[in-house]
Structure 1
Amino acid sequence: MTRRTLLHTLATCSLPGLLPAGQHLPQNLTFIGEKKFHRLIDRALREDWRSLPIGQRITRAALAMEGTPYVGYTLEIHDHIESPSANFDGQDCWTFFEIALGIARMLAIKKDRYTPADLLHQIEITRYRSGTCHGSYLDRIHYLDEWFTDNQKRGHLKNITASLGPTVPLEGRRIDEMTVLWKSYRYLKHNPDLRPGMAEIEARLQRQPFHYLPKTAVRAIEPRLQNGDIIGIVTHKPHVYCSHVGLAVRSADGVLHFMHASYTHKRVLVDKSLSAYLASFESHAGIVVARPLE
């Protein structure tokens, strides 16, 4: 298939999920900021990030993206066809941590040169249910609690929340943000037939127990967190369990900071200590934590 034919197919396609696994949108839509990517990877090779543990690799990649503008909905790149994507010019909280993780995983595979396709492959493995995108929006894992569960099942990480201290159940809360706020999501807005499937996914997640560490307990467990740990922010707000996500980054003075793509600050930054960040927002209830594995 020529590029012209592919673009025509995408332009005329009205249903999700028509591309077989391995065929995705053109790279000019799925990968933004290629020069920044190559500069980051050139630095990673010069400084031999590959020799570091995965948490340190994640942290190096994250810090290299500090200052990237915050841009919401950076995963919504097409009206119909879902595809692995990465954007180095603008990131939201999910794409920031996911790109840092993807770079760290990519560097573990020894190569002299890395391409955007290498990173997109790693993102596909963690972003999509069972690690494969077939072109359907419903292939993507949209809720962080399911992302933790699916990736833990496949050996990519370990949910360490319960090992950090006494957790509490989140009760009396519906998980239905995607179907309630469907107008905010490009794919759901343009494909009404996707909404029942999304509602089924949400109903399944609703039946799964969810426990978290209250924010009042976070300061005491900060010494046990490591660079590169993935921190989900549990919220008191309706429709969702986790409203935000970022990374644990320990500074030279030993303080455990929360690094994230911040809507408030409009950029990727190393924020306050994790406990201080949580205390800054009444809506924050606590955290869940996943530790990436080699």
Structure 2
Amino acid sequence: MKWFPILAAIICQLTISTLSLSAENFLPLKTTFVGQQKFQQICLLAERENWRQLEIGERMVRVGRQLEGTPYVAYTLEIDDHIESPSVNFNGLDCWTFFETCLAFSKMLETKKSSYTPKDLLAQIEHTRYFSGRCRGNYLDRIHYLADWFDDNQKRRNINDITNKFPTIVMPNQCDEMSKLWKYYRYLKHNPELRVGMAKHEKRVTQMKVSMIPKDKVRAIESQLKNGDIIGIARHGNGSYCSHVGIVVKDSKGRARLMHASSDYKKVILDQPLSDYLYRYQKHAGILIARPK
């Protein structure tokens, strides 16, 4: 049949095209990008004050300060029942979406443009949120554990994991939080088949060698931290290596304060110096540190 090779070629091309689609083509912008007015306000300020000339960590702090007071909203990443997409919400942030919005916005500014669009920021979100920097609409494309995010983004040179430059201990851990608490995650709740894949991810992450700086060692290293350093808050016990995340903001005394989306304060806040914050909660065991590149 003379038409068979042509048909096969067409099918092959359609398959490749489908696989190469960015997730932004799956969900509408009104779902994946919330708060365009706030986005444009920060863009205008960044251009007026020439944030582009700053080091990336300094840029992250500038973005973070503009997000200060934004309401805390849990499970901000769970935006659909089935289709996974890069997303941004300037009207509500959790700890993960706060730090990654600061990072993505800062990286976006490195490319000078006459104006920025939501697509520009979503592209940066996709680059760090997903394995190998690519989302194809599958929930398991996303990096769900912070220690895994550190590992993947270190390999792709988006960050330097500097944790082991300081006194550390290896963390014992059994990652199974999402498998056990699947009812709280829209995608896992509505797609039971994803739970098997998630369990495989968790088994792999459990086998990782993850180190932390114990909280009794943190005060001594605060002076060596920089603005914009990403701080994973290590937890005692199993479930996940980290239970929280924020960024460093250095104060006038040289103390490294934690800026984060706080479930206690119900908003993004500039909190206590890092070591003081750690001792506020018994569950906190120490920290992991990633320096953005």
With structure 2 as the length reference, what TM-score do the two structures score?
A: 0.92
Match of 2:14 in 1: none
- SS where residue 75 of structure 1 aligns? coil
Counterpart of 1:190 in structure 2 is 190
* 8 Å Cα contact 1:92/1:261 also seen in 2: yes
Partner of 1:291: 291
2:84 alignment partner in structure 1: 82
Q: Deviations over 1:179-238 (max 9, x none)?
A: 010000000000001000000011011111111000000000000000000000000143
Task: Say whether residues 1:47 and 2:49 are aligned partners.
Answer: yes
In structure 2, the CA distance between the partners of 1:35 and 1:19, relative to structure 1 (3 Å rule), is farther
Structure 2 partner of 1:106: 108
Please say if residues 152 and 158 of structure 1, whose CA atoms lie closer than 8 Å, have aligned partners that are also in contact.
Answer: yes
Which runs of structure 2 are paired with 1:193-208 in the superposition (5 Å)? 193-208=193-208
Instruction: Please state how far the C-alpha of 1:148 moved relative to its aligned partner.
Output: 0.5
Where does residue 152 of structure 2 map in the other structure?
Answer: 150
| Letter in structure 2 aligned against 1:167 | T
Q: Does 1:210 align with 2:190?
A: no
Between structure 1 and structure 2, the one with the greater Rg is 2
Deviation at 1:112, TM superposition (A): 1.2
Amino acid at match of 1:275: S
Aligned to 2:275: 275
Unaligned runs of 5+ in 2: 1-17
Are 2:234 and 1:259 equivalent residues in the alignment?
A: no
Partner of 2:167: 166
How far apart are the structure 2 equivalents of 1:236 and 1:219? Answer: 19
Amino-acid identity (%): 54
What's the counterpart of residue 181 of structure 2? Answer: 181
Separation of aligned partners in 2, 1:241 and 1:91: 21
For 1:104-129, what per-residue CA distance to the aligned partner results, in whole angstroms no more than 9, with x for missing partners?
A: 00000111100011000000000000
Q: 2:71 aligns with which of 49, 69, 72?
A: 69
* Partner-residue secondary structure (3-state), 2:80: coil
Per the TM alignment, residue 175 of structure 1 is displaced from its structure 2 partner at its CA by 0.4
Q: What code does the residue aligned with 2:217 have?
A: A
Structure 2 SS opposite 1:63:
helix
Pairwise CA RMSD: 1.0
My pick for the range that moved more, 245-254 or 102-111, is: 245-254
Question: 1:22-74 deviations in whole A, cap 9, x for unaligned?
Answer: 12310000000100110011000000000000010111001110000000000
2:198 match: secondary structure = helix
| Distance in structure 2 (CA, Å) of the matches to 1:183 and 1:137 | 15
Q: What is the distance in 1 between the residues matched to 2:19 and 2:39? A: 27
- What secondary structure sits across from 2:72 in the alignment? coil
Unaligned stretches of 5+ residues in structure 1 = 1-17
TM-score (norm 1): 0.92
Provide the rounded CA distance (Å) in 2 between the counterparts of 1:238 and 1:149: 19
Matches of 2:60 and 2:146 in 1, distance apart? 18
Give the Cα–Cα distance (whole angstroms) in 2 for the partners of residues 101 and 179 of structure 1: 28
Q: How does 1:26-41 map to 2 (within 5 A)?
A: 26-41=28-43
SS in 1 for 2:245: strand
Match for residue 96 of structure 1 among 69, 91, 98: 98
In 2, are the aligned partners of 1:175 and 1:202 still within 8 Å (CA)? yes
Shift of 1:19: 7.1
Offset of 1:253 from its aligned partner? 3.2
Whole-Å Cα distance in 1 between the matches of residues 199 and 238 of structure 2?
A: 16
What SS does structure 2 have at the residue aligned with 1:287? strand
Q: Secondary structure at the match of 2:195?
A: helix
Detail structure 1 runs of 4+ shifted over 3 Å in the superposition. none
TM-aligned CA deviation for residue 262 of structure 1? 0.1
Aligned to 1:233: 233
Amino acid of the residue matched to residue 271 of structure 1? D
Q: After superposition, what is the alpha-carbon deviation per residue over 1:257-279, rounded to whole angstroms, capped at 9, x for unaligned?
A: 00000000000010000000001
SS of the counterpart of 1:232? Answer: strand
Q: Is the 8 A contact 1:24 1:84 kept in 2?
A: no
**Which residue is 1:247 aligned to?**
247
Shift of 1:20: 4.9
Q: Distance in 2 between matches of 1:272 and 1:278?
A: 9
Q: Tell me, in whole angstroms, the C-alpha distance in 2 between the residues paired with 1:97 and 1:167.
A: 23
Taking the aligned partners of 1:117 and 1:150, their CA distance within structure 2 comes to 23
